[in-house]
Amino acid sequence: MVPPFTMTIDWLSFTIPDVRLELVKEALGMDWVQGESGFRGYPTSWISANGSSGVGLLGTGAPRSPKEVHGDLSGGIVSTWPLARVKTVLDWINEHQGHVTRFDCALDDRASQVTLEHVKAAVAAGQCLTRARQFRLVAASDLNQGTATGETLYFGSPTSQTLLRVYDKRLEMQHKERENWQDYGIRWELELKKERAQACTAALRGWEEAEWRRYLISVLRAHINFRDTTRDEPDWVRCRAPLLPWWALLTEGLETCRLVVEQDVRTIEDLKDWVARALGPTLAVLYEEAGSPWMAQMIEDGKRRWRPHHRRLLTGTGRNHTYGLRPSKPPV
């Protein structure tokens, strides 16, 4: 049974000023191939794919700092890592004098106890107290079918250190025809950058999960609160007004939520699609230059380096949803 409130770690970006690229790839423990273009101003890039949605990117070789490595790991990658592995990677980044530049956490109200209508009504009534200077509502629809695919509420700007997105994850997953879409609900997604990302991950490295979870909810409530007040009341009255009942219920529930290790299943079809998109031109050049004997030898050498996750592709197995935490081996 799916818990009513859950959390996933949904993005990790970092920069290490002086490190060998091979050490970074080894610490992250994924398969990497060189990209054909640069990335975020870095002339050399490396790409890793995980399943059908997760993408990792590494950039290096910038003239201003040739040994610097920057990494972006999307939610499809880090959401499949148990917390022990997340901490191991964060510790490794810190030990190499690196810093986290972005860290996203998705807080899910799986039963949709608080709807988007609750939130929009509170904003319209002046019951939203937030440090954000900007509020946006973005509605999306399918042009071919003429159907709504959801709304996203943004509290904060893309350049701010804290950005909150609130949207119907269930509707998004249903539209994408993903399995288990009915297990989702309303998602409160915190995107932390720069100093706030660094502070949040430093707390995660040093604290137990329950303590860090309470800290994260305090970050959410420092960014936004919903109180029983009006826009016309003085600021000191607004700040001391009682919390709206639905907001108190939601934040109390999220404080006791469970960390979810998302499903990590990559099929042969996923892999074929990714190779065709990311490596097709490179493989064509190698085949034209080196010929089929070299390609065949490379494939045989690759088979000898298979890891368990490569063998799982042949059997069609993967990891299932895991609610709660289990110990994890450090990445190798």
Summarised one tens digit per residue, pLDDT across range 211-270 is 999 999 999 999 999 999 999 999 999 999 999 999 999 999 999 988 888 765 555 665
What is residue 166's predicted lDDT score, i.e. its pLDDT? 97
Better-scored residue on pLDDT, 92 or 280: 92
Do 191 and 278 lie in one domain? The reply is no
Better-scored residue on pLDDT, 148 or 80: 80
Do 287 and 170 lie in one domain? The reply is no
What is residue 181's predicted lDDT score, i.e. its pLDDT? 84
With cut-offs at 50, 70 and 90, classify the pLDDT of residue 281: confident
Angle at 154 between CA 198 and CA 169, to 5 degrees: 90
Do 255 and 279 lie in one domain? The reply is no
Note whether residue 216 is domain-resident: yes
Residue span of the structural domain in which 155 resides: 106-263
Do 112 and 255 lie in one domain? The reply is yes
* Cβ-contact 200, 128 below 8 angstroms: no
pTM confidence score:
0.80
Structure tokens at 207: 């604290």
**Span 280-291, mean pLDDT?**
78
Rounded Cα distance, 315 and 332, in Å: 22
Phi (first) and psi of residue 127, to 5 degrees = -95, 5
- pLDDT tens digits for range 30-58: 888 888 889 999 999 999 875 456 789 99
Note whether residue 57 is domain-resident: no
- Highest mean pLDDT out of 77-81, 154-158, 326-330: 154-158
* Cβ-contact 201, 98 below 8 angstroms: no
**Span 166-187, mean pLDDT?**
86
- pLDDT tens digits for range 92-142: 999 999 999 999 999 999 999 999 999 999 999 999 999 898 899 998 877
Do 183 and 290 lie in one domain? The reply is no
Do 257 and 272 lie in one domain? The reply is no
Distances, alpha carbon 116 to alpha carbons 219, 256, 284, in Å: 21, 22, 49
Phi (first) and psi of residue 194, to 5 degrees = 50, -125
With cut-offs at 50, 70 and 90, classify the pLDDT of residue 317: low
What is residue 271's predicted lDDT score, i.e. its pLDDT? 63
- pLDDT tens digits for range 202-213: 999 999 999 999
Angle at 322 between CA 318 and CA 326, to 5 degrees: 105
DSSP symbol at 264: B
Angle between helices 209-223 and 194-206 (to 10 degrees): 160
- Amino acid letter for position 113: Q
Do 197 and 254 lie in one domain? The reply is yes
Beta strands at 65-73 and 54-62: parallel, antiparallel or unpaired:
antiparallel
What is residue 318's predicted lDDT score, i.e. its pLDDT? 46
What is residue 331's predicted lDDT score, i.e. its pLDDT? 33
Give the chain's domain count. 2
Q: What is the mean pLDDT of the chain?
A: 85
What is residue 329's predicted lDDT score, i.e. its pLDDT? 32
Note whether residue 218 is domain-resident: yes
- Amino acid letter for position 166: V
What is residue 324's predicted lDDT score, i.e. its pLDDT? 36
Do 278 and 295 lie in one domain? The reply is yes
Q: 276: buried, middle or exposed (CB in 10 Å: 19+, 13-18, 0-12)?
A: exposed
- Amino acid letter for position 186: I
DSSP symbol at 30: -
Better-scored residue on pLDDT, 97 or 147: 97
Do 254 and 122 lie in one domain? The reply is yes
Note whether residue 18 is domain-resident: no
Angle at 313 between CA 310 and CA 318, to 5 degrees: 100
With cut-offs at 50, 70 and 90, classify the pLDDT of residue 313: low
What is residue 46's predicted lDDT score, i.e. its pLDDT? 94
Do 156 and 202 lie in one domain? The reply is yes
**Span 306-329, mean pLDDT?**
49
Do 115 and 242 lie in one domain? The reply is yes
Do 291 and 229 lie in one domain? The reply is no
- Is the confidence at residue 323, as pLDDT, over 50? no
